Structure formats: C-alpha cells, structure tokens
Structure 1
Amino acid sequence: MRILIVSDAWQPQVNGVVTSLRALVAELRELGHLVKVLSPQDFRHLPCPSYPEIPLAWDLWRVGPAIREFRPDCVHLATEGPLGWAARRWLKRRGLAFSSAIHTRFPEYVHARWPRIPLNWGYAFLRRFHRPSQAVLVSTERLRQEFAGHGLQRLSLWRKGVDSALFQPRPREEGQPVFLYVGRLAAEKNLRAFLDLDLSGEKRLVGDGPERAELERDYPQARFLGFLQGEALAAQFAGASVLVFPSRTDTYGLVMLEALACGTPVAAFPVAGPLDVLQAGVTGVMDEDLGLACRAALRLDRQACAEQAMRQSWRASALEFLCSQPLLDGETLAEHDWQPARA
C-alpha cells in the first residue's frame, strides 16, 4: 500500500512521537509498503512560541495538493498541529477516511504551561479534531478507557515497541549510583520532583527544552548532557542505575521501555504510563514518594528488566497499526477525479 503519515512532529525533533513514527516507517517499508511522511520539513515553517525546537508549518494551502500528488491508499494524521488540521479539513471536505492518533495528554500539557486554560477546553479540542477519524489510536487499554470517559470515540490500540538491536544490556562501571532522566526539559515533565530529591549518587539529564537554562542554574550539581541519540543514548541508559520518570501526564513514556531493554529499572509515580509499562517490583518501583521509589529500584534484577522489555517489538507494533487503517473509498475518489495508485 501507499501510506501517507501527516505529522507536525518529525526529524530533527527528538521526542517519543518522532521515535515511534520513525520506527513505524522503517517497519512498514520492510514489510513492502511505500510510506511518505508529510512534515514541517516539506513546508515553510516558523518556530513555535516558547518552544522554538518545534516548527509550525504555515503555507498550509499546499497540504491538499501534496496529498493528491502522493495518491495514498490510506492516510494517518499523527498530530493535532497545523498540518494535522489542514489535512483533516481537506480530507473531511471530500468525504475521505483517515485514522489519527493521540500521542500526548494535550489538555494536561497545556494546563501545566498555562494554568488558566481549563482542562475541559483541551478535551473539547481533542474531541473536535478526532471526531471524523475512523480510528483514533492510543498506546494502552488504560488510555482507551480514560479518553472514552472524555467523550472520544472509535478508540483503537496501537502499542509501542523497542529497538532491541540498539537498546540492550552492556557492561557497567561500579561506583556511586547514577539516576538518569531522559526526555524534554519542560514544565509538564515535573522535573523538579526528581531534582529536589535527596539521593546518594549522581543525577544526569539527557534532553533539552524550554526549562533547561533555569534548571541548570537552580541545580548546578546535576549533569545536563543535552540531546543524545543512537549509541550515545543507549550507553547512558545502560550505564544508569535507575531511570527516573517523574512525569504525571505522559500517555506512555517510550524511554521506560528503552531503559528496561538496557537492563535499567525505573522509578516513577503510580500514574498512567508507568502503570501500563512497568511490572511493579520486577521492572520498576512506583510510589508517591519518588525518592523511596528510586532507592528501592536500585535493588531490582537488571536481567529481569531486559527480559521483560524484549517481549515488545516494533514489528508487532507496525502490524497493529496496519490493522487499524481505513482504505480510501474508490467511489468517493472517482467523484474528485482521483484514484489511489494501488497495485
């Protein structure tokens, strides 16, 4: 099939959405599908206010022609940004089916950055965007139930995987414990809950974001390593004693799977995301006392962590994605003098 993925998040951004989409595209291509990602790199774009590493496309009148030119068999809208809205509008006006996905708790993230914006406004935004979608993909059964409670419909599971060739256990140096965080340095990640902990050992943070300068100033004893990818990132996961996941609002937390694949246990709050990824007392410790969770996680079996993570592959994730995709209707396309390029 010819599969078009429309996403406001794509390379060179580094985040869980981009990691998931890159892995999906690679697996779909290995399965013999022709895949195109329509991203801000295909358009003129401006940096997002207060989040300059996120580009926002603005010449959105080119989205429709780009879809028609590719002649897809199915279209997936990965994000609710400007490109996602433009593609949604073009497809909806023509009565063409598409799938979409919820990768983040958008209402909670907006509320964390701008507390005056009520959560119910964010969920009204999500309902409106995803209402025409034939399948709204979410990462876990818990999220499916949660979003259904907020009025979203046609929710379907699309579980994530891990790159076991890159993320795997490695020899570690003995010494003081290393407590690692990997992800965006932003308010919604609740990083001060980690950085304020009184822990015996070293705190490392991999990633970048709008809070980095302020956090580096307030926590000079922590090591801020910036964005890392590939082998450098895998080495940090494998060399850490515990991955600390302080967020209370993530829908999944792909970095937890990557850490576990390297044999590194996780400390987290007992909230959605960690509750879906971790096996309590085996691969992680979840507690409202995050410091207690960090210290208890040091005692977990690293081999058991790696074995649990290896059961989840990106190939299985890609096949689950394919099962959810609605094909564009040939009769409807004929009305618009356009037929998909099906073999």
Structure 2
Amino acid sequence: MTDDTPWLTRDQLRAWMKLVAVMELLPAALDQQLQRDADLTHFDYMVVAMLSETESRTLRMSALAAATNASLPRLSHVVSRLEKRGLVTRCPSADDRRATDVRLTDAGYDTIVQAAPEHVRTARRYVIDALADEQVAQLDGITRALLGRLDPEGRFAALTYPRGDEALCEARLTGADAGEGLPEVPGVLFRDATADDGPLLRRATLRAMNWRTETFTDADLDRPEFAHYFDGFDPARDRGVVAVDGDGPVGVAWARFLPEDDPGYGFVAADVPELTIAVDARGRGRGVGGALLERLLDAGRAAGWPGVSLSVEDGNTGARILYERAGFRTVGRNGDSDTLLVRT
C-alpha cells in the first residue's frame, strides 16, 4: 500500500505550527483584556460591535448570527446574558412578527465606546505593531486567501471589511440582508441604498440604458428624462438595495416614485414606484440580479406599496424572463418598450 498523504515540507510545517500557536494565544489575549476592562468576552464584543455598526443599532437574530458565525442557540444564550446586563433588548421584528430583533441599548453603546480604545491597543500590541507596513499588506492577502477556503460564502465579510473600506464597509447586514427566505449569493452582501449613493445610481442608470450597446454617454444622463431616475434619491420615500462583494458594488436595484407630470418610461401611477436594475460584468451569472429584485420587492411589500413597475426594451429577453419569474406582467407599451407591473 502506497502512502499518498500530502505531508508538509519542513518550511510548510514551520509556518503551520506558528499559525497554530497564534490561533491558541491570540484569542486568549483578546479575551483577557476585554474581560479585565469591560467584563466582556471577545464574542460578546463582536455581538455588541456588529449592532453598533448599523444605523438603527438593531439586527434580526438570524442576521446577527450570520455576522458573528454563531449558531442561533449560542447567540441566544449570549444575548440573554447581555440583556440581563442592560446592554441589549429583544423584541418582535416590526417587519415580521415571527422574527426577533436585537437592539443595542444606550448603555450597550456606551460600553462598546469605552471598550474599543483598549481593544484597539491590544490588537496593535500583539499584531499590527509587530509588523512592518508591507507585512500588514501581506497579512491582508494571506488572510483573504484563507477566508476564501474557510468562508467561501462570505458570511464573515461584514467583519473583514472595516469602516472606510470602499468595498464592503457599508454592507454590514442592514435591513436589506436581514429577510429570512431571501436568496443568497456566495461572497456577496446586500445593503440598503442611501442618499449618498447618488453617484452609484447615476453609473447604474447609464449601465441599464446601455444594456445592449454603448449608445449613451455620461453627459446624456443630465437630460431630465434620465436624471430623474437617480437625482434626489430619497430613502425615506424611495427604496434601493446594493449588492457588494470584496471588490465593491456589483449591482443595484432601486425604485423611485415619479410624478405624473414627470413620468419614467415605465410609469403606471404616482403611487407605484418604477424599478431599475443594473448588474455589472463581475456580478452576472451569479444570481445577483434575482437576489436584488427579491429584496427590493420584499421591501416594497413591507412598505405597503400597491405595486412596482418597470420598462423593458424589445430584445432584452434575459431581463424579461427575470421579471416575469418574479410575477411582472405587461400592462402597457411605450415606444419600443413594454411596461410591466407586479402587485405587491
């Protein structure tokens, strides 16, 4: 019998054993500091930190479990302990009474604010300050490669791209990613569009207009019949969902309420928002478009919209199939495009 075990070389074994030592020692050092200074475990800190990163300081239990790589039973036990300390509260979700939301209290927020400085100093002491700048860059590449094997679906992506990173800094499991039963895309997170996404929506509008050929330019977007799709996007009224992977946004779907005296190409009524979807080349063939569409329609149902409309040009068969699968039906004609509507 031949031994086909892929034994490690001497250099590989040396590197592996050092990694094993770090995995044993570093968590204990982080736990020790947090227990001493804030009476928190490192996992407690992760839970509270994830809640603090959302605008409402609230996440569904399922989203929080995904963000912290925890089973629901383990997370429930930790949340119960934090709740007894007054750091979090639990309540039925406003969108789905069957689901449970976890909200960070003011006391919980104060705790994370007070704990963060020494936690950062500890991270610097044991990791960052022990490395030269080029080694930090190498560490980023090494850990990214390892996460590609350990976390191929990107469940930990919300932790691995800190605030300020242009790729996933805003995809921190907000409402757009919290709905049970919505389709997932490996390596992609979803976030709600904000008023700051105007430039993104502008680029996406151009991409949607040029679905077949590069007919339009950025200068064309200043024309009123195009500009109203992105200019003045208001998340208090309109809705949008952005898909993000490790290299940045890969797609966006948004719906805008346009008035009767300034209608879009897919206008049906002033109380029915018009949908636009754009997915870039990096996101195509991965199910990003369908996942964006389902999340936007889910948001529309939660908001009580009577329906969602859109315009699809003749020949755009792939888009038409996607929309019809989601329940859209033709209700009108505008030039060389059909107007489609789905009731929500």
Task: Please give the TM-score of this superposition, normalised by the length of structure 2.
Answer: 0.30
Return the index of the structure with the highest Cα Rg: 2
**Structure with the larger RCO, 1 or 2 (CA within 8 Å, 6+ apart):** 1
